[in-house]
Structure 1
């Protein structure tokens, strides 16, 4: 009886243990299976994450399955189909074991679909025990439910229309216009004549294009340049039939002409590593994105966000079984600027008359809003008008006059205009067109732009006199514009020679055309204003305390009489214009050359022009300004 009882009891224990393993997962043996299967599922989840990482490989994840080669390819193909940049795979809860050799566990998957957004789903990993080892069952459903052995995922991305950059009146400065992407077929299809044509007609480095084509996979389109559709139509008879030339149509956000406000609005090209980073997480390497100017600065606002769908499709019929992910795109938002379209065109037309590199900036004096900024005579992406760092020459006598008036001098103070003046061994002279006239008022020295007259007063100013005076005009501060701009600098002079040079806008004094236009605007308005290109983005308001009333009155008289009877007479007859000329010397290539300046205002519009290598403000910059002023009231 004991033996029988003992056997019955033992059998009962075995049945209980068996029930625990197959149903509840409890007991020591059940815990072992949960732990073992859970460990391999976690390893698989980690390997999946690495497989879908940039430059990841699926081999390690495949090796954890019962069919490594097939599953690795399946996992890699799904990654390629979704264009996933990263993924997180998180096992949920504990594995559930149906018997000692089969356990399942849900996986929460969150994939970042490059250029679209986040797609989430839950799949199920099945761990099977073969001998002493646990393996993941190589099923497509482990990746996505419903994939099975033959079905697949298909993604479609939809870009919203890019928003426009607007002028101050809401008129579109950019719009989505037809373009043609011109390139060549990969391999050796294109001939030397083809690449020579790219260099000659499209300014594309033919040798580099040839190297790219030879290195590209067979059957690939190797893009070279994107041009306006009308440009391609003009080139089609010449280039269209050359061996290897291929084209693709599309649209791109462009101004009305290739030259219009190019350095401000900026350019767009196929994304690079740098511009893709600026474009944000929903951009794609194939997208046309802003590369310079406002197109770059406001890329994400203008582009909006793309939409997309992912469908599960039948592997045999290719038909859609169901849509498994859908995201609506959001339209881009326009960027409104302070630019005046008509004035911008006038500025560009005026610069087109120059044979030398030149820039022109016009601002609304009372607000600091930028009305026009142009670089010529040919369009360029580099914005000299905002970023150029030049010695301002005699236009800086506006600041010097303010400093001297602040020291107690007046418009009637007598200043000696000599041919030269020596400051501690350094000889300064006047520009070549000015003959010494002896004693004269500060107003006359300003009108005639006599260097020696102003330098003769350097001892009246404290060491920081010019630096502080410049700050009254907003010079020396960070402009904090939406796009890069230089506000100028007037460092503390290291000695009397440096101080003397700063009084005539030379030495260590530098400024951009924008900064000098704001100097003129300060005289016109009476207070230096912060420049604004994009309202709401760029800080507006006063950049300094108002100039003393006596200083404003004197400077306005100085600048007006410079037009009526001084070096800016070229502007006479264009209304109540006030101006100051400037000629700045610099050494380039061992030679002394000059840049020509003119700055001033009329009504509520202040302006500045620089001509690189120009003879003088009156002879070189003046005619450009005259053309500009004649185009508007």
Structure 2
């Protein structure tokens, strides 16, 4: 059975004048009466047929037809291909034929077979060409394929996988290790019943209908895998499947974190290889391998997996005992991937998100380095990393950037700004979030503390058309983050008009950001310079993402974010130490309805953070308690 794509290479046989007595006017055609020339031609054609036979979905027909026993040699050639799991083969005739008489010639064949999932096996066999009547044929012997095969012996391949290397935290502690798993599936055909497939759907969240279709279309006697779960999970579920027909299981190990939810969207997941994931897994991967499908497990699949090893033995056809080992390749262990994640902070982030009833994400970074300490999505585990990839309107958390933009025009934290109920910009009416009553006269610092939209928008005329875009760039917006896993660096397009500019000042309109980017904004305030986020040191770009903020601007923002906690909308964090923060509420349209997402960004010490709650009433009410829970767990 053919299993993989092939790269075919066949070296042409050069027949020199020294091995041929053909007449000068023969036109290069084979002279059937010249045994060397005739035998060389049939060996060359046989080599080409062999290459085609071991190509994907290839057939041995062409090679077998050139032998003196096509009916037996064709299946023999095919069986050796299947035994070796050959991905491709190059067969090259060597030297000149050696003819003992006018009817018998031999010629060596140099064979290089790429064994799928192991490497290249090389050997030399001998093709014997015999003249039968007026035609030359290859003697149908197993030795033509591999020396020593004869009529009954066979080749047996064994492939060995090194233990998968671990993904490590910032201290070198393993985030993943090889743990016992159970691969659950069904027998091909119709052995499983409707009740069996219903149980897969109910207890394992597997689409029973799709599994049934796969089982029905698979060759007889095959194990059709459905899902891989931890061994302890299967121990709990085993009684549910004990009496159902057609259920099959296989034991194994898989590189897994401490729980099925821990760091899932960052660390990633593993599954049996598919055509798509095989491409990423490299040339030594096999369709039976467990390979990374998402996150770091996918990005660093080849580094973590290492290189498989393997052996091929020649075995006695009667006793099945090994005659000799004819090929061996040592495997090479994978190399761990060290990340910037902090194991404890990751646990704390996930525990905090577990308290939410709505989809939420939390990112924590080290403000002084840009290194990512924790990234979690909750309250249930998901492969989609909203924390890094989400495109969200940042709402009023963007007022940190807006404040910096206005300071660039000459305003200060104490500059007077009036907070009204509404403000009209060229026919568009903007209002404050529902919990804020207009307080009239105030300062920019108070506008940030109380998150007054109208106060900030009243200053839109001070900004040039690209004012918000340039200010956002000072905080790292708009860059290709080039992390080891996909991440979004936010976007603040130049507004098309004054209305769009006003919307961007309060984090609405065309402004979008990920929770990771907003954590970096908070980190920029603390650090004074925007940094590039780093997840895998040495692999992800590091260092400044922009020029340093003006010192006066950075100092003012630090004070304004701190007073937002001590006397503003982020006071829910007032008992959690020297925290500086900014809340945000962003209006978005979801399924045709306007909902609000609740945000909070900030920092304490060298840890900067961002939390978003999808559908949260406000930053203070939705994101605040999650962040308080997170900050309470560590000092």
Same fold by TM-score greater than 0.5: yes
2: CA distance, partners of 1:167 / 1:497: 46
Question: Does 1:59 find its partner at 2:53?
Answer: no
The structure 2 residue matched to 1:219, chosen from 218, 221, 226, is 221
Partner of 2:482 in structure 1?
480
CA distance in 2, matches of 1:28, 1:198: 72
Q: Which residue of the other structure, out of 447, 461, 464, is the alignment partner of 1:462?
A: 464
1:27 to 8, 21, 25: 21
Instruction: Give the equivalent residue in structure 1 for 2:568.
Output: 566
Match of 2:368 among 354, 366, 369: 366
Determine helix, strand or coil for the equivalent of 1:439. Answer: coil
Select 2:180's aligned residue among 178, 181, 187.
178
Kindly report which structure 2 residues correspond to 1:316-331, keeping only aligned pairs within 5 A, or say none: 316-331=318-333
Does 2:606 correspond to 1:612?
Answer: no
CA deviations 1:522-551 (Å, max 9, x no partner) are 000101111111111111111111111011
Q: Distance in 2 between matches of 1:579 and 1:449?
A: 12
- Give the CA deviation at 1:564: 0.4
Shift of 1:498: 1.1
Contact 1:611 1:620 (C-alpha < 8 Å) held by counterparts: yes
- Deviations 1:56-89, CA, capped at 9 Å, x for gaps: 1111111111111211111100000000011111
Contact kept, 8 Å, 1:361 with 1:373, in 2: the verdict is yes
Q: Of 269, 274, 277, which aligns to 1:275?
A: 277
More displaced stretch, 38-47 vs 484-493? 38-47
After the TM superposition, which residues 413-424 of structure 1 pair with which residues of structure 2 at under 5 Å, given as runs? Answer: 413-424=415-426
Moved more, 241-250 or 329-338: 241-250
Conservation of the 8 A alpha-carbon contact between 2:20 and 2:37: no
Q: Tell whether the 8 Å contact from 1:115 to 1:283 is kept in structure 2 after alignment.
A: yes
Partner SS state of residue 417, structure 2: strand
| Structure-1 residue corresponding to 2:49 | 47
Determine whether 1:259 maps to 2:261: yes
Paired position in structure 2 for 1:543: 545
Superposition deviation, residue 345 in structure 1: 0.5
8 Å contact kept, 1:185–1:222: yes
By how many angstroms is 1:26 displaced?
5.6
Aligned to 2:297: 295
Partner of 1:208 in structure 2?
Answer: 210
| Residues in 1 aligned to 2:416 and 2:606: alpha-carbon distance in whole angstroms | 32
Match for residue 248 of structure 1?
Answer: 250
**1:94 shift after superposition:** 2.6
Pairwise CA distance, 1:467: 0.9
Q: Is 1:127 aligned with 2:98? A: no
Separation in 2 of the partners of 1:596 and 1:277?
40
Which residue of the partner structure matches residue 499 of structure 1? 501
Which one of the candidate residues 524, 527, 535 is aligned to 2:526? 524
Distance in 1 (CA, whole Å) between partners of 2:187 and 2:81 is 27
SS in 2 for 1:468: helix
Which of residues 309, 312, 336 in structure 2 aligns to 1:307? 309
1:626 counterpart SS class: helix
| Structure 1 residue aligned with 2:189 | 187
Quote the residue 1:11 is aligned against: none
| Helix, strand or coil at the partner of 1:417 | coil
Give structure 1 regions of 4+ aligned residues with deviation exceeding 3 angstroms.
24-33
**2:20–2:34 contact (8 Å) kept in structure 1:** no
Secondary structure of the residue aligned to 2:612 is: strand
- Secondary structure at 1:49 match in 2: helix
Q: Give the whole-Å Cα distance in 2 for the aligned partners of 1:169 and 1:531.
A: 18
Partner of 2:442: 440
Unaligned 5+ runs, structure 1:
1-23
Q: 2:428 aligns with which of 412, 417, 426?
A: 426
SS at match of 1:196: helix
Post-superposition Cα deviations, 1:11-47, rounded to whole Å, max 9, x if no partner, equal: xxxxxxxxxxxxx956348994333322222221111
CA distance in 1, matches of 2:193, 2:573: 56
Aligned-partner SS, 2:291: strand
Determine the C-alpha separation between the residues in 1 that align with 2:22 and 2:209: 71
> Deviations along 1:299-344, whole A, 9 cap, x unmatched?
1111111110001111122111111100000111111111111100
1:622 matched residue in structure 2: 624
Deviates more, 1:392-401 or 1:121-130: 121-130
Q: 1: CA distance between counterparts of 2:126 and 2:287?
A: 33
Point out the more displaced range, 278-287 or 419-428: 419-428
Separation (CA, whole Å) in 1 of partners of 2:496 and 2:95 = 72
Moved more, 535-544 or 178-187: 178-187
SS in 2 for 1:35: helix
Does the CA-based 8 Å contact 1:25-1:97 persist in structure 2?
no
Secondary structure in structure 1 of the residue aligned to 2:441 = strand
Once structures 1 and 2 are overlaid, which stretch shifts more, 326-335 or 139-148? 139-148
**How many angstroms does 1:52 deviate by?**
0.8
CA offset digits 1:93-113 (Å, max 9, x no partner): 232322222222221111110
Other-structure match for 1:18: none
In 2: Cα distance, 1:293 partner to 1:339 partner: 14
Q: Which deviates the most, 80-89 or 120-129?
A: 120-129
CA contact (8 A) 1:266 1:296 kept: yes
Bigger drift between 205-214 and 195-204 goes to: 205-214
Give deviations 1:160-193, integer Å, cap 9, x for gaps: 1111111111111111111111122222222222
Pick the aligned partner of 1:408 from 392, 407, 410.
Answer: 410
Could you tell me how far apart the structure 2 residues matched to 1:464 and 1:135 are? 80
The alpha-carbon deviation at position 439 of structure 1 amounts to 2.1
How much does 1:596 deviate? Answer: 0.5
Whole-Å Cα distance in 1 between the matches of residues 307 and 20 of structure 2? 50
Paired position in structure 2 for 1:141: 143
Q: Answer with 1 or 2: which has the greater Rg.
A: 1
Give the C-alpha shift of residue 463 in structure 1: 1.1
Counterpart-to-counterpart distance in 1, 2:204 and 2:211: 12
> Given the two structures, how large is their TM-score scaled by the length of structure 2?
0.94
Q: What's the CA shift for 1:569? A: 0.5
Superposed, which structure 2 residues align to 1:26-105 within 5 Å?
A: 27-28=21-22, 32-105=34-107
Contact between 2:415 and 2:443, CA under 8 Å: does it hold in 1? yes
User: Aligned partners of 1:566 and 1:517: how far apart in 2?
Assistant: 20
